[in-house]
Structure 1
Amino acid sequence: MGSSSFLLIMVLMMGAMFLMTRSAKKKQQQAAEMRNKMEPGSGVRTIGGMYALVKSVNDETVELEVAPGVHAIYSKQAIAVVMDPVEYNRLVHGDEPEDEAVEDADATSEPVAQAVVDAAEAETKDAAEDKDEPVALSKNLDGDKEASAK
């Protein structure tokens, strides 16, 4: 009975190891495919979190423009993500895509955010009035400072 338990445990461990190595190989293949999609002009993020533009791609290395006019050579293995131009420009330059859905979302989000700020300020003022303490300075979305003391 002891040897059959041992054998069962060994089979389960081997199965788990097989599944783990299989998923790791699959992830490596997906990363290699992603890196093969790099071409000059692509936006990338390195494993260190730096965003850059691809200037040239070689067998094992890639030349990146890390700042205007500043080029550096990186290993292809150092590339974590290859981004599409819209996503790269949004992250790096803050460019929002010209889309009505985005404009509609921006139009509705500001009043909602202002309402949240107003509610938080009212709650703070109520709490301060209960304790007879001055209300802390707060900053609303327009950047104006408000202060009130009891």
Structure 2
Amino acid sequence: MSGFLPMILILVVFLGLMSWTTRRSMKKQQNQRQELENSMTEGSRVMLTSGLYGTLTHVGEKQAIVELAPGAEVAVVKQAISKVVNPEEEEFSFADDQPSVGAEPEQAAIEGAEQPAIEASEEYQETGAQQAEKSAEYPSAGEK
């Protein structure tokens, strides 16, 4: 019985030490997260956990609205924001007053609609019967 006492004492000390270090690291992570959430203000540049960069436009209790591009806003949970980014850390910068990329192709599509559609040449047009003949030449794996 006296041989087990030192072993039990070592086990209790070891488990206590593990518990203390685990609680300490969890507390440290909570403090870091709290500091991050306190530094989130409207207008701050942030990086999401997916790697996307954006600007905070609104910050709520549980969610935030991030503008990824001019006019493109998404609502995310605060936990999806991995860090607040300093402008010096960003490799690329974009001006907010640039026109959105989607505006130009829409205008081109409207202008292209005025032109008549080009008819497909007769040699490329196939009838349903011709297509059926080709598919009969190459049966699928299930057909015999």
Q: TM-score, normalised by structure 2?
A: 0.58
Q: Residue by residue, what CA displacement relative to the aligned partner does 1:95-136 show, whole Å, maximum 9, x if unpaired?
A: xxxxxxxxxxxxxxxxxxxxxxxxxxxxxxxxxxxxxxxxxx
More helix by share: 1
Contiguous gaps of at least 5 residues in structure 2: 95-144
Aligned 1:1-150 pairs, distance under 5 A? 1-87=3-89, 90-93=90-93
Q: TM-score, normalised by structure 1?
A: 0.55
Q: Classify 1:41/1:19 alpha carbon distance in 2 versus 1 (closer, same or farther; 3 Å).
A: same
Whole-angstrom CA distance in 2 between matches of 1:50 and 1:92: 13
Aligned residues: 92
Percent identity, aligned pairs only, is: 30
- Counterpart residue type for residue 55 of structure 1: T
Report the equivalent of 1:106. Answer: none
* Greater Cα radius of gyration, structure 1 or 2: 2
Whole-angstrom CA distance in 2 between matches of 1:51 and 1:4: 56
Stretches (4+) displaced over 2 A: 90-94
Report the equivalent of 1:115. Answer: none
Deviation at 1:59, TM superposition (A): 1.2
CA contact (8 A) 1:46 1:79 kept: yes
Contiguous gaps of at least 5 residues in structure 1: 95-150
